[in-house]
Structure 1
Amino acid sequence: MTPQEPEKSIDLLNLLKQGDKRAYEKIYFAYSKELLYAAYKKTGDKIIAEELVQNIFISLWEKRMTLEINNLQAYLFGALKLSVINHIRSLVMENKYMAYQTLTYSEDHQDTANLVDLHDLSSIIEKGINSLPEKTQEVFRLSRYQHQSTKDISTELNLSEKAVEYHITRSIKRIKEYIKNFYIFF
């Protein structure tokens, strides 16, 4: 790295904060291939790697006004590391869920009534989630479906950890009430 490169990086970041799309494009073209290569090495899947890298750059643009970045390369590769960890974590949870499903609901013992009840409950929960305010829905989905920590959610959504905990508590309470009211009605 030449002495001018950190200065160029700082200049690009300052322009990015001002909404300069050309600075954003320069950052993208300077780092996207390296990030894609690193993501592919970690995931072994080109599509997943592309998605993770794309999400990093989308987040960079969306949060450009509030980000405090001292080292652009370190920031981008740190964001990639967290994205890969979250992706692997979600795969592990999905695999555990699938294993649980296989053990609990073997094909020989599944009856139509149980499948219908499970589908109905899933639909009720989804309707309950959809009845929540938009920000609360987003926090709930990140917490429960993408298995992100309170700290990760607070960073991603630019909220305090207390606010994230409030949204999670509020969403769980409202969804429980929604399910309870649905079953009382029927």
Structure 2
Amino acid sequence: MAKVTRSDEQLWEAIQENDNRAFAAFYERYWLLLYKAALHYLKDKSDAEEVVQEVFVNVWNRRKSLDIQNFQAYLTSATRYEVYRRIRIFKVNKGELNKDFSHDMKVVYNAGLERLNLSDNWGILEKCLEELPKRCREIYYMSKMDQLSNTEISDRLSITNHTVENQLAIALKHLKRNFSRFAVIIYCLFFYH
């Protein structure tokens, strides 16, 4: 008897109804793809496994609220975000960044499998962010990369919410002034997928 393979959509409907077996099938379907993508940038098997685990934990925790149109695109984008977040933390802590990641960065639109090569735009964005004052850049990364609220940032840095808001406004104004509209849209799609 042939095994019936359920579509992503069928699995997702079951996952949203708390079906652990459907989630396990979904995990098995995409684990290797995401692991290879994470390993390409991180060059460490355990880190790559942690990234994929984090992505799937987030999917499970948010299963009731997520509206995913293209599962491969969503999971790939989520994996890239998690890899970037870890590299950013490593850069902040160690002063290093995996250059392959900066040059090979790609974004996947949720509307389909169309991919945009961001190597040039990513370099421009990184340069633009590096021009910001250190504190402003730090607040921006905490807000956009680490997804901390203004209150969390103000608590961690022992500054007022108003200061956080002002610094974020300065950063966004700088990005708008110095970075093309197209690239900012792509950046927002990547980080707010």
The TM-score with structure 1 as length reference comes to: 0.53
Cα displacement string for residues 65-93 of structure 1 (whole angstroms, at most 9, x for unaligned residues) = 11111111111100011011111111111
1:114 aligns with: none
Q: Kindly indicate whether residue 165 of structure 2 is the aligned counterpart of residue 166 of structure 1.
A: no
Percent identity of equivalent pairs = 28
Q: Say if 2:13 is the partner of 1:14.
A: yes
Does structure 1 conserve the Cα–Cα contact (< 8 Å) formed by 2:41 and 2:83? yes
Mark the runs of 5 or more structure 2 residues left unpaired by the alignment.
Answer: 97-137, 160-193
CA distance in 1, matches of 2:41, 2:75: 15
* Structure-2 change in CA distance of 1:149 and 1:173 (3 Å): closer
Q: Which amino acid aligns with 1:24?
A: F
User: Which amino acid in structure 2 is aligned with residue 30 of structure 1?
Assistant: R
Equivalent positions of 1:90-129 (< 5 A) are 90-96=89-95
The 1-side partners of 2:141 and 2:20 are apart by: 30
User: What amino acid is the match of 1:23?
Assistant: A
Which position in structure 1 is the counterpart of 2:80?
Answer: 81
Query: For the Cα contact (< 8 Å) 1:56–1:80, is it kept in 2?
Result: yes
Q: TM-score, normalised by structure 2?
A: 0.52
AA matched with 1:22:
R
User: 2:85, 2:146 within 8 Å by CA — same for their partners in 1?
Assistant: no
Equivalence for 2:47: 48
Q: How many residues align?
A: 113
Q: Pick the aligned partner of 2:143 from 137, 146, 150.
A: 150
- Write the deviation string for residues 98-122 of structure 1: whole angstroms up to 9, x where unpaired: xxxxxxxxxxxxxxxxxxxxxxxxx
Q: CA deviation at 1:166?
A: 2.8
Q: Which has the larger radius of gyration?
A: 1
CA distance in 2, matches of 1:80, 1:148: 18
Give me the whole-angstrom Cα distance separating, in 1, the residues matched to 2:32 and 2:46: 14
Give the drift of 1:150. 2.2
Using the alignment, how far apart are the partners of 1:67 and 1:59 within structure 2? 10
Q: More helix per residue: 1 or 2?
A: 1
Partner of 2:68: 69
**CA-CA distance at 1:151 after TM superposition:** 4.0
**Alpha-carbon spacing, 1:30–1:84, altered in 2? closer, same or farther (3 Å):** same
